[in-house]
Every structure is written in C-alpha cells, then in structure tokens.
Structure 1
C-alpha cells in the first residue's frame, strides 16, 4: 500500500491511517461489499494532499454575477449546446418525455457541469473520498460516500481504473456524488450498468431522473429577468417570499422591457444574485429544483440562462 505522508494539521489527531483503513474495510464487509472489491479498491490507495487543500478553500465571490456568467456561458458553450441538442435530439426527446424534463435543461446541466462531457475530473474517486473520509472536517459525510462508491464498484457499474471524478468525488458527465448515483442514476440502455461516464443515454436519463424526482415541472420554465419599480420594498427580494404573477404585477414588477408579466399565474420569488449590479430574476419552482442539484445561486442561474440560450437548438 502506498500512502502519501502528510504534515497537514487536520490529520494530526487521527489514528494511524492503516488502523483507520482496517476499520473501514471491516465496515465495508459488514455493509455487504465483497472482499475482492475491497482488496482491489484499497490495494494502492493514496491520500491526496491537494484534495484536502481544495476542501479547505472557502468559497467566496471574487467575480461579479456578470463576470461569472461571461466566463461560464461563453458563446462557444451556447453554440456547442445547440449542436449537442441537435446531435442527440432523438434520445433527448425520448428521455425528456419519459421523465418530464425539457431537453434544453438536460443539455444545459450537462454543459454547465462538464462542458458536455469534456471535463469530468481526473481524480480517482476512491482516493479522493478516502482522503476526505480520513480528514476531520466532514469525515462522516465522506465516509458514507466512500462506502457507497465501493457498492457502485461491487455492482460493476464502472471499473476501478475508470472511476474518475472531481476532487470531492463527483463522478461522470453528470457529476453525481455516489449517493446521488445510487438514488438517481439510470441504466437507460439496459446493458446492466448505470454508466454516467461514457453512455449518453444513461447520462441524460440520470440527470432527468434527478430533476423529475426532485420536483421538476415539465410545463414550466425556470424564471426570467424582470424590472423592479423605483422604491420597491427590497425585503420582498427573497426566496422565502412567494407570490402569484398578479401580485408581483400589482407591486410594479414588469418584464425587462417594461411590458406586463405573463398572464399565467405561476407562483414565483424574486432573486438578486450577490455580486450583481441589481439584476433581478423572478424564479419559479424549477429554479428551486435546480438548487437541489447545487445550492449555488450562480450555478442555478447559469443552468437556467444556458437553457434559454440553447432553446430548441
């Protein structure tokens, strides 16, 4: 076994790694993981110092909302999204109808997460999760994810050498954590494996299944940018405040060009992204569903706006 030596303070109070790993293996056995899977998964396991550093790095807004969107949603991503929708239209429409999710949102998630499968992460998922499970900061969470990752290997959905992902263990073209994989990944082509790494049908169906089970509404969009009147009560700009369209209209909220809001009485909330220039969005239930995928306002906005820009291809 090869284990990188650490001077990282977070490991100082832990029991020796070999002892810790021995207990983890016992727990994996008790959870029904086969001995060959356990042996192969940990035969050359490594603790990755960079993973700890990335986990320690506190997220902070260093870009304005406009800068973030310009960087994350370049024209090239939109053009590629239109092309991807057209190239995969048949399977996307089939999956979309089955799970009740518009194809443009499946493609938008795919684009925002991994640039349509081009950037899925190069870390060994087992090494990354072992590192984070051994670390002090979120040990219980990552230990659970690690045990589920072993289950995924045990069920032969992916080979150990191919089980790559982000530093936090998010996997494949849809960037599912192991727990999300177990709950939402789909073997759409029925080959016996839920392959979110290389099989597009499985990638699309898994993303759509996640959204569907999280409350997605097929007959609604995510939201729209709006204009607020002068002296608007900013305490109403809050996801906790939800009103039907007529009530927002009565308060002076309009489309960005000043025209009336849509007549359909969807219930929405107002959101102003932090770091923005006052841009305001009226968001609906599907926006909240995107937030279940990733709690970042910037992420949810980028998915919604990219879906709008992709449109029908």
Structure 2
C-alpha cells in the first residue's frame, strides 16, 4: 500500500508541479512588466504607447519551452530540401512571382536584387505570408527577457518594438510574430525592422505585415545592405576531385573561378566552371564530401547574414532556381 501511495504522490507531483511553476512564472511576469514599463518611461517612451503595448501582455510559456527545447534532427541537405521546398511550394512560388511580377520587377530594379530571390525568401520565411506566427510580439519579447538567459538582447529588441509602435507603423493588435519576436512576412526582428524596413507604398508606415510593396522592398533593402550583387547568382552545386583538401572549404576562403578550376572543381555535370574573372567564390560543404557541395558567390554571404544557416541558404537558393527554371 505504501508503494502505491508513493506512486500516486509521484505521479501527482509531475501533474501538479508544472501548473504551480506556470502560476509562479505568471505572477513574476506581471511584476516584471511593471519593471519594464518603469524602465521604458525613463527611456522616454510615452505612457500612451506603454498602455497600448502592454494592455494585453501575457506570459508565453510556449516561448520559453520553444527556446529551451528547440528540436535537433540529424538531416542532410538531400533530406532537408524536399521538406523545406516541396513541389507544391515551388509551384506556388512561380504563381506568386507571376501574380506580383510588376511590383517585384520595380522593387528589384530599385534595390538591385533579382525578384526571384525576394519571392524565395518570402516563401521560405512565412510560406508567402501564410504563416507569420500567432504571438503578440511585445508579449513574446517580454517573456523572453523575463526568462533571463538573454535578457539584454530581448530587452533591446523590446525597446525597438516599442519604437515601432510609437512611430505608428503597426497597430499593437496586428503586431504578430514568432515566439521569439520575429515579425511580419519578412520575419524581421525589431532591430532589423528599424534598420531595413521600407515604406515603399508611401503611406507613412513601414508595414511588413500587410503591404506587399513594403514587404518586398524591405527584404530587398536588407539584401542590398548585406552586399547583394545583381550580376551573379547565389551559388552553384559542383563536384570535387577525390584529392580535394576539405580544409579549404570555408566561406572566408575566396578564390577566383579559374583557381577553383585549377584545383579540380567542376560543375555538377563535370564540365568546366564559368570563365568570368570578376567572380570570387568559396567552396561550401554543408554535410560532407559525399553530400551536396556548392560554390558560394557573394550573394550566398548576403543570405547568410539574413540567417546563418547553410541549410537556410540552400533552401532559398534552390527555391529561387525553381522560380527561374520552372518544371
């Protein structure tokens, strides 16, 4: 009987404890919000802005859980790309490109970015605006600051979010994003919004949630400032010679195409590399020599500034290629 009682107590503890912890977190969060509001007043934010921003502030336990328990899967590019860019997404990318072609070409010409890359980023980030995250951005950022592991980072993002509200770019109710505070159809953190968002439609608001002109121009402006080149693509898949020294495969090791050619690097079909002397590239091996290998051009680096993941860059590049060469 004692063993049975102990088991019941143990099971009950596992059921009740998380609720108790959550209640404590929510109580502490309410106090933290008051502390944040007082600090914001000292920084010069208006009481009206703070009342709007924190009117429905809530503690997002899901944000804390997602941050602490981000899933890790052993993938290769060959298994990842079909998930990131299924056939329906590639087909939809072409449809979206054609639907917004006039606007995309106008934006692309202004910022020096090929429109297919704008669409590819849009598709990979939010499924062409179909999923931008259902979290209140102020609550998500405040939750992450309260959680404490990266308090200064998330507080700085929160101050910038308050600036966005105070400048009138978006109504608080529409300021939705990811559990970490990435916002709108471009998934900009507030600091990226402040640095790169564009009021392309001229309505006085930088609206990366609802205005397609602002969405496309903001993405293009980010890439332009990241060093984008309109005269080259992102990269190309290549094959390496058997004796290739893999220690040379890193983004900072740039060589001309002629130099890589001399080292035995070839196009995927075995033919010679292009002969352009004005292009430098790096060899990138996201998995191993037996997997996909890329020559990464300047635009590869620009995409890495957007998201420092070779898999992300490969997905955006692959989708942009599918837009350029639809099946």
With the shorter chain as reference, the TM-score category is over 0.9
> Is 2:8 the counterpart of 1:7?
no
Match for residue 180 of structure 1? Answer: 192
**SS of 2:21's equivalent?**
coil
Residue deviations 1:103-135, cap 9 Å, x none?
000010001001111011111111111100111
Shift of 1:18: 4.1
**2-structure distance, mates of 1:251, 1:6:** 63
209 and 243 in structure 1: CA distance in 2 versus 1, 3 angstrom threshold: same
Could you tell me the TM-score, scaled by structure 2's length?
A: 0.89
**1-structure distance, mates of 2:19, 2:74:** 33
Match for residue 60 of structure 2? Answer: 48
Could you tell me the TM-score, scaled by structure 1's length?
A: 0.93
Gaps of 5+ in 1: none
**SS of 1:7's equivalent?**
helix
Contact 1:224 1:283 in 2 (8 A): yes
**SS of 1:134's equivalent?**
helix
Contact 2:267 2:273 in 1 (8 A): yes
**1-structure distance, mates of 2:72, 2:290:** 17
Match for residue 111 of structure 1? Answer: 123
**2-structure distance, mates of 1:199, 1:147:** 24
**SS of 2:72's equivalent?**
coil
Residue deviations 1:16-61, cap 9 Å, x none?
4444323311221233322111012212211111100101124534
Match for residue 323 of structure 2? Answer: 310
Gaps of 5+ in 2: 1-17
Match for residue 268 of structure 1? Answer: 281
**1-structure distance, mates of 2:184, 2:29:** 28
* Correspondence list, 1:71-150, <5 A: 71-150=83-162
Query: Which structure shows the bigger proportion of residues in helix conformation?
Result: 2
> Is 2:233 the counterpart of 1:221?
yes
User: Size of the alignment, in residue pairs?
Assistant: 307
Contact 1:64 1:275 in 2 (8 A): no
Contact 1:226 1:280 in 2 (8 A): yes
After superposition, the CA RMSD in angstroms is: 2.0
Residue deviations 1:233-292, cap 9 Å, x none?
111112232110001000110001110001113111111113784211000111011010
Contact 1:273 1:280 in 2 (8 A): yes
Residue deviations 1:166-189, cap 9 Å, x none?
111001100000111111000000
**1-structure distance, mates of 2:192, 2:19:** 31
